[in-house]
Structure 1
């Protein structure tokens, strides 16, 4: 299978607010827009995220209106502190403060108008030995195959 593009579609009654949020705070541009669907992205990454109203005319089976739970969109950046500064300069605020996590991420989080959790992360060196107990468990598990 040759995947040409990838992006989540979030079914929400807040299509316009989500579009404005992603354009304002993350600098995404409209790739495609209609009354019931908008695809956002940028030149570097292509498509990033789409929003679709629950009353769209070409409803495939399955997608219900997103409840704001059970999904996280991870955005990896080179500098989480700078990404947060940009978000704040544009009038946004973090719902999870900039935190250096022991497992090797510096991150902050926000919710978009649909309730989607957006985790903005910079990969950093984890605390010494943090992953040892997890990696050993994985190695033991694979040895029993």
Structure 2
């Protein structure tokens, strides 16, 4: 048996608003839209991962979802200019990532990161 994919499901009463957040901030494209559920994708291929944590590191909350990007500073500037709530500032962490937390419109904590090493 092999796990082929893991998909994050975000419960919301405002599918369109949350869709816009992930499309505008991360450039994700809609690959399925049934109205009550929208699936967005990047077209990239990545290893299947799941993290289990007691904290988010550096004393932060455990984020609901982590998104690795290749242009962290650009995404951070976009999040600020779009008026999204940044709950943990842009930080270089001792374990080799640079990241920030932003809340999506459903209140989910999104860990946006790039590896520094």
Q: TM-score, normalised by structure 2?
A: 0.71
Question: 2:55 maps to which residue?
Answer: none
Alignment TM-score, normalising by the size of structure 1: 0.59
Could you tell me which runs of 5 or more consecutive residues in structure 1 were left unpaired when the two chains were aligned. Answer: 47-68, 126-145
Higher helix share: 1
Q: 1:25, 1:92 within 8 Å by CA — same for their partners in 2? A: no
**In 2, are the aligned partners of 1:100 and 1:107 still within 8 Å (CA)?**
yes
Q: CA deviation at 1:114?
A: 1.1
Kindly provide the CA deviation profile for residues 78-127 of structure 1, in whole angstroms up to 9, marking residues without a partner as x. Answer: 342233234445x24433221112232211111111111110112225xx
2:104 maps to which of 112, 121, 125: 112
- Aligned residue pair count: 102
Aligned-residue CA RMSD (Å): 2.4
What residue ranges of structure 2 are gaps of 5+ in the alignment?
47-60
Q: Kindly report structure 1 stretches of 4+ aligned residues shifted beyond 4 Å.
A: none
